[in-house]
Structure 1
Amino acid sequence: MSNNWNILNFGNLIILEYGNTLTEENRSGGDYPVYGSNGIIGFHKAYLLDSPNIIVGRKGSVGEVVWANKNCWAIDTTYYVTLKQDNSLRFIYWLLKSFDLRKLDSSTGVPGLNRNDVYRIKCNLPSLPEQEKIAEILDTMDEAIAKTEECIAKLKKIKAGLVHDLLTRGIDENGELRDPVRHPEQFKQSAIGLIPKEWDIKELSQLATVDRGKFTHRPRNDPNFYGGQYPFIQTGDIAQNLGQVIRSYTQTLNENGAKVSREFPVGTIAVTIAANIADTAILGIPMFFPDSIVGVTVFPQFNHRLVELCIRFAKHKLDAKATQSAQKNINLEDLRPLLIPFPRNPKEQDRMSSVYEKFDERLKKEEAYLEKLKLHKKGLMHDLLTGKVRVNHL
């Protein structure tokens, strides 16, 4: 910490005031946001607090710190901040955010935050001009993160539309999406609706072998079958790598495990058929999996990325077929006859796959940039709020 910074307790800087009760049935709607312990939960015609203010979760989402930039109402599951000294409110916001107040949960039932525990926390306080500069820098980081998140959200919407267009219109030899309105002669009716004339309707079993994974030993978690050289994935791994090439794993099988399971080759599309229906990922390395996952091994003459997109596009149809017992599930009889519109020309298959892959790569770059920004912000918060890095040196 810098020599000319003061070390104080939060109790010297702020008062955490109790919010006021405003039940859901009494919220009238209107211009003023109503804050609960985890952010805005409604609107009301009247307000309790002038803006800006800091709302801190007291019950429920303990220790959540939210900035309220409009006049608002804070309900009784929250605290709001009153300054005791002439300090930057925005700096105090960042200072509170830098501490994990959730660790102060003092309840045994519903999570709860005792304000006296917050008051005892020691913090570093620079001069007011330096507070304002620090807050400005961190706000700039927050704005960059928000803009990147907004960009990613837009790209995801565009991506969903792109997949729909690719799988219903295709890409012609000029690299353009076909247009059923301007060129209806390029399309035909099929069992699943309008498709390009150069396409056929195929069952999934005509494009790939479709086989269930397996793990026949019971109990499934017997440690004698795990901890070897063979990667083993389950439905949760697919959900975490949705639509991606999967190379990571958290479990392995030993020789005993491999004997009671089934290995699938690189390029196999792993499709979940229990709990989460029709989540998909493409194997980047050979892997084993249990019977809650189906391996779709695409025949060499077809593009496996395009087949994966078609299965993913049919997720809602497959989910509607799921039987409900202890958990939702489908079986091979649902997957193998799945009707898929598919280009006859391998070059068009590759064009469609390439367009998708390029767009997905752009999205991945934005997501990687977002993670980089978040890490940079975390480091900046530590360095600036402790005085390790002084703003006059930036």
Structure 2
Amino acid sequence: MSDWTDMTLDDVAYIQIGGTPSREISAYWASTPDSGFPWVSIADLKENVIVETKERITEKGILHSNVKPISAGTLIMSFKLSIGRAALAGVDLYTNEAIAAIKPKDTRIYSELLYYVLPIVAQNAITDTAVKGATLNKASLGKLSFRVPSECRKQKKIVKILNTIDRTIAKTEALIEKYQQIKAGLMHDLFTRGIGADGKLRSPREEAPELYQETAIGWIPKEWKIKSLAEACDWYSGGTPSRKNSDYWDGDVPWLSPKDMKLFELSDTQEHITRSVTAISYRIMPKNTVFIVIRGMILAHSFPVVYSNNEFCFNQNIKAISGRGNLDNRFLAYWFVSKKSIFLKKTTESTHGTKRFDMKDIYELYIGIPSNDEQNLFIGKLDLISKKLQLGQSSLDKLQRQKSGLMHDLLTGKISVNVNPAP
């Protein structure tokens, strides 16, 4: 690869570190979203281009701190805590001290190529012998070394290719977000209005009050029954076999823990236990069981719910739930998902600070239960939008894998790019 050049970041770019105005002086911080100046923290580095920030600083904050102005189009990248998060400044802005602004000194390097190259190099550097065990700082950032095509036109061609797949990823993410909003709205309507005999959502109570009844959980369709979760469901507790006994582990029974519960439907788990231990004291729940997390720090921000497509054992931080009578388990699982905000408000803290539910509070919650036919209509509508979300997520995962492979091939020269000869 004789047409590639080795360089360090100090060779080709200026590095500028941000700062944070004193939190103790309110005059340094803008009080409204349309006042002050954008101030980027690591939490803002979620988009490719930064235009809006969670916090903004005032002119006084700028004058009385070590923040430095960063012009639109400049690359910014985190180098502390979450190392290697990168974005381009979409407007003139400022950053905190965990973020570096990187601006090319000359035409040897195309700024947007650094957007793709530097995060990989920075993440690799924290385990490199040159900086092993060290926190990245301005000096170590400057020592980051990388190889790029010598010709800037080839650098731009690589960026153009990667930008194309990034745009496709962004469109897919937007579609997923749209489906998530549709699903959230549909859930709200279904679990408050339900579906009438005509197969459509009932008219709102304001328009057709005769269709509704007032209950402990508010107004619900007249046909629905209301029960507490203690009355409506059977609840089961799990546990963890001794890890000191190898005979209990690496069997064929999936063993569910909160770390597995990233999807609504689940067929397998990271760990498995043997049937010999389940015969002693660990219950195997059948396919189509509902599982919720009842203990763990994940409850600080999320309420995982799983509908099982396989038999599972499960640990002590989870409850297995099965509906009684005509309460369909899949309907029940969707109901739990729809009530996420209610459940998160019910969390308490143990003496060790771990988030948990007081199960007495949970058992006392009420659920509205439609007829079996209406539950099936719910399930059909929610399955349809869930399928669209699943397909969207699968497409996104595939695109991200393609991007990762393409980046490796383009940035190592495994795939060469061709440009027209210079005039």
Q: What is the TM-score normalised by the length of structure 1?
A: 0.84
Identity of aligned residues (%): 24
The counterpart of 1:146, out of the listed 148, 154, 170, is 170
8 Å Cα contact 1:6/1:125 also seen in 2: yes
Change (3 A) 1:100 1:20: closer
SS in 2 for 1:189: strand
8 Å Cα contact 2:117/2:411 also seen in 1: yes
Aligned-pair distance for 1:393? Answer: 8.5
CA distance, structure 2, for counterparts of residue 260 and residue 95 of structure 1: 53
Counterpart residue number, 1:366: 392
RMSD: 3.2
User: Which range moved further: 364-373 or 85-94?
Assistant: 85-94
Aligned-pair distance for 1:246? Answer: 1.5
8 Å Cα contact 2:84/2:118 also seen in 1: no
The counterpart of 2:273, out of the listed 232, 238, 253, is 253
SS in 1 for 2:294: strand
CA distance, structure 2, for counterparts of residue 304 and residue 199 of structure 1: 17
User: Which range moved further: 318-327 or 195-204?
Assistant: 318-327
8 Å Cα contact 1:35/1:75 also seen in 2: yes
Structure with greater proportional strand content: 1
8 Å Cα contact 2:126/2:133 also seen in 1: no
- Counting only pairs closer than 5 Å after superposition, residues 162-177 of structure 1 correspond to structure 2 as 162-177=186-201
Q: Does 2:252 correspond to 1:229? A: yes
User: Which range moved further: 330-339 or 376-385?
Assistant: 330-339
The counterpart of 1:341, out of the listed 355, 368, 391, is 368
Aligned-pair distance for 1:313? Answer: 3.5
CA distance, structure 2, for counterparts of residue 283 and residue 232 of structure 1: 12
Corresponding pairs, count: 385
SS in 2 for 1:198: coil
Q: Does 2:241 correspond to 1:186? A: no
Counterpart residue number, 1:353: 379
8 Å Cα contact 1:167/1:310 also seen in 2: yes
Aligned-pair distance for 1:74? Answer: 4.4
SS in 1 for 2:171: helix
Counterpart residue number, 2:17: 19
Q: Does 2:126 correspond to 1:104? A: yes
Q: Could you report, residue by residue, the CA deviation over 1:182-203 in whole angstroms, capped at 9, with x for unpaired residues?
A: 2222112122211111211123
Q: Could you report, residue by residue, the CA deviation over 1:85-130 in whole angstroms, capped at 9, with x for unpaired residues?
A: 3142222332324434453374757x32354565452302242222
8 Å Cα contact 2:80/2:98 also seen in 1: yes
8 Å Cα contact 2:125/2:144 also seen in 1: no
Change (3 A) 1:20 1:307: closer
8 Å Cα contact 1:8/1:124 also seen in 2: yes
The counterpart of 1:306, out of the listed 331, 336, 352, is 331
Change (3 A) 1:99 1:342: same
Aligned-pair distance for 1:214? Answer: 4.3
Aligned-pair distance for 1:283? Answer: 1.6
The amino acid across from 1:237 in the alignment is D
CA distance, structure 1, for counterparts of residue 174 and residue 9 of structure 2: 37
Counterpart residue number, 1:43: 56
Aligned-pair distance for 1:58? Answer: 4.0
8 Å Cα contact 2:285/2:320 also seen in 1: yes
Q: What is the TM-score normalised by the length of structure 2?
A: 0.79
Q: Does 2:164 correspond to 1:113? A: no
The amino acid across from 1:133 in the alignment is K
SS in 2 for 1:52: coil
8 Å Cα contact 2:9/2:141 also seen in 1: no
Change (3 A) 1:232 1:92: closer
* Unmatched runs of 5 consecutive residues or more in structure 2: 46-52, 63-67
8 Å Cα contact 2:290/2:333 also seen in 1: yes
Q: Does 2:39 correspond to 1:34? A: yes
CA distance, structure 2, for counterparts of residue 61 and residue 234 of structure 1: 26
